[in-house]
Structure 1
């Protein structure tokens, strides 16, 4: 018997073709777009939330500046009405009262008790001036460490214990033309600079009036 030699060809598979450099780069780019995009959106949202929170704090601090001046106005009127040491007509002298004067440092004071680490001084260097509240108080110290005073013509700042914050506040008090010595305009401005953002400012303006004495 004659045997025929047959050649069996195995069905082989060639080596798998690898990814080209361009394909790898395209895949990485798509992956980065898919991952970095949402992360950027989340980061932007968190930044906006932080700015919104700081804006709310700034509004409260600015309003507190207005209330500090209002408290001084109210205290002066009470002294007048009770026949205190101020004397005179409360309708014309509601903006000044020796009883408000700090005998050591010679300025008018309003002390804010909340939080306890914050003391705000709204100052006046003269008890005889009818426009002694017509002063500008500026302090660029960290806000929860603020102790603002005005002595003579030079605003100054001193620190008390507290936690540093990015805020500083300016309170400006102006006479109103035609107000008949009965009206002042109080402007309270709080400024801060969020990380990575432009400087931001919140301003509140309010008019305060002398209160007529009760009958």
Structure 2
């Protein structure tokens, strides 16, 4: 039937329009343990994003959670390793002090990047989280992250900014749809302020 074919085509076009940028947020896909690389169609894009994730993790500073004073042990070890060699009073130490400081300065980014690569690779190599458990219940990917926040501390911090609740236009669409309904039903020359008042009353009195 032509009507059904038209409806199907309209739905397809609507889905394409709304999800045309679905591949433009690869980091959120990679950080979702249910998808990781399997959520991306472009293998090269996935590899590029993983490299960017290495840098992002390396540049992420751990912060205390829930106002506690707990500092991740991994970060403490890195800070200790990067401390400059204390100046000794003897002449030999004074001669080598500047050299030692320069070496430590160059070692810092290398160690930070190495630990970032280890953290990211370890996460990627973990088995994919099944969308449903053996009982057919949907599994919570945020709970998965919460249980592993001490294993992947920096990835966990990045995840909290990526796997958050997305904004939606549905409430706005409902209001405008309601406006069209009201104006069409009344078929009157209502002024703008009157339309606003009628929409407000209709939207709130039936809640």
| TM-score, normalising length: structure 1 | 0.23
Q: TM-score, normalised by structure 2?
A: 0.23
Relative contact order, CA 8 A, sep 6+: which one is greater?
2
